[in-house]
A and B are shown apart, each in its own frame.
Chain A
Amino acid sequence: MIEYITVFVLAAFVGYEVISKVPSILHTPLMSGSNAIHGIILVGAMLIAGSAHGTAQMTLGLIAVILATLNVVGGFVVTDRMLEMFKSSSPRRQSKGSAAQGGPESTGKGSQSGSGSSSTNGAAK
């Protein structure tokens, strides 16, 4: 039992820490992507259906597999379509979006090029 609680607590911290500074344009795709990930319940549904005995258990197992499969395929396909939309939208709009959204990234680049130019300035002097 305690090993499962250990896994649970560590996974909770990882889940909380792994997403940080998500640009708001990615809020819905991230929601949809994590929606697909909890489709892992399909493994549980398979275990139940695969060890079912009698009509009642088999029916419940079948229902669980159908529902969980919907969660998995629907989740991943919907997420992929959302992200496809970002790609296929006009390049200008996309670059505008990424410039507005990629705050930390673009500042990082800016400061890098800034320090680069200042060092060349220093070398020139």
Chain B
Amino acid sequence: MNIPSIPTYAAVIYLLAAVCFILALKGLSSPKHARAGNLLGAAGMLAAIVTTFTLHGISNLWLIAVGMVVGVAIGVPAARLVKMTAMPQMVAAFNGVGGAAAAVVAITEFSREASHPIAIYRIVEVLFSVLVGSVSFSGSVLAFAKLQEWMTGRPVTYPAQQPVNAVIGVVLLALIGASIATSSTLVVVILLVVSLIFGVLFVLPIGGADVPVLISLLNAFTGLAVAATGFVLQNTVLIVGGTLVGASGTLLTQMMSQAMGRSLPNILFSAFGSVVTAGQ
């Protein structure tokens, strides 16, 4: 069964939701309008979700409803009851699940289409979403663990860290090539697993006060993964919402690292020793 097509009325409401998201970001960047901005974003989101329910060709309504009830039942208490000091790790957690959702949606759609010949650009869209979404998920889980003090918050380094990362990078490239060559779902699933490992290795050497900047970067990653999934599903509201977060998140990450008086490459790679720090 194919993804339901989007009729005009739904496209108009998706457009309104996208405008709400833009205004939400604008509101959130000024102290005066921040709270109203957040509520406007939530209103746009609600409109988009309700509209999706009404689409012709959406079946399994009970399945969606059950999923939403479970998500709300876990998410609202978790967000309401957590201590104020634990907020950054909650952002990491909710960011991670978004990245995972983007990867799952892309891989599910791919598994449906892969039985027919599939264009290379379609595979590339899926691969991008799976790779970036998985890295964002496992990276966020590790960032959560660091802030929650389930593990040391300090940068973790080990011998031969750079060679190990290089090997993982080469494996990822090989898997990308193999996915395009074979358009096999199994290879994409292997890519997903290796991406999860890569996300962990990427975050391990980042620690201490740098973790919030890292979460902001992973937030931008998830945005890009969502946008890639939007390409996979050919859905503009996903593309707009994801891209807005990807672009503004990248800028925000730069602003956060500037506020700390450091450059972003320095924050990401300083523990490797590959970037020489001037100030240390």
Contact = CB atoms under 8 A, between A and B. Distances in A.
B29 interface: yes
A34 B108 contact: no
A96 to B, nearest CB: 12
Contacts, number: 349
Contacts of B236: 4, 7
Interface string A31-66: 111111111111111111111110011101111111
Interface of A: 1, 4, 7-8, 11-16, 18-53, 56-58, 60-87, 97-98, 101-102, 105
Contacts of B2: 51
Given A30-B252, A73-B71, A98-B31, A50 B246 contact: no
A49 B101 CA distance: 12
Interface size grouping (class) on chain B: 35 or more
B28 A30 contact: yes
Contact of B237 (A43, A53, A67): A43
Contacts of B246: 12, 15
Most A Cβ at <10 Å: residue of B1, B215, B240: B240
Nearest to B227: A8
A58 B251 CA distance: 37
B90 A18 contact: no
Contacts of B255: 22, 24, 27
A64 to B, nearest CB: 4
Nearest to A79: B38
Contacts of B219: 31, 34-35, 38
B59 A50 contact: yes
Contact of B91 (A12, A15, A35, A70): A35
B274 to A, nearest CB: 26
Nearest to A12: B247
Interface string B51-80: 011010111110110111011101110111
Contacts of A37: 21, 24-25, 41, 45, 223, 241, 244-245
A58 B101 contact: no
Contact of A62 (B35, B59, B67, B251): B67
B248 A74 contact: no
B247 A51 contact: no
Contact of B234 (A4, A33, A58): A4
B94 to A, nearest CB: 4
Interface string B15-31: 00110011011101111
B193 interface: no
Most A Cβ at <10 Å: residue of B14, B21, B234: B21
Contacts of A11: 18, 227, 239-240, 243-244, 247
Interface of B: 1-4, 14, 17-18, 21-22, 24-26, 28-31, 34-35, 37-39, 41-42, 45, 48-49, 52-53, 55, 57-61, 63-64, 66-68, 70-72, 74-76, 78-80, 82, 84, 87-88, 90-91, 93-95, 97-98, 100-102, 104-105, 107-109, 111-112, 121, 212, 215-216, 219, 222-223, 226-227, 229-231, 233-252, 255-256, 259
B71 A35 contact: no
A74 B243 contact: no
A98 to B, nearest CB: 5
A50 B57 contact: yes
B108 A36 contact: no
A11 to B, nearest CB: 4
Closest 4 CB pairs of A and B: A69-B71, A65-B67, A15-B247, A40-B241
A113 B48 CA distance: 44
Most B Cβ at <10 Å: residue of A44, A76, A102: A44
Most A Cβ at <10 Å: residue of B38, B74, B231, B246: B38
Contacts of A97: 31
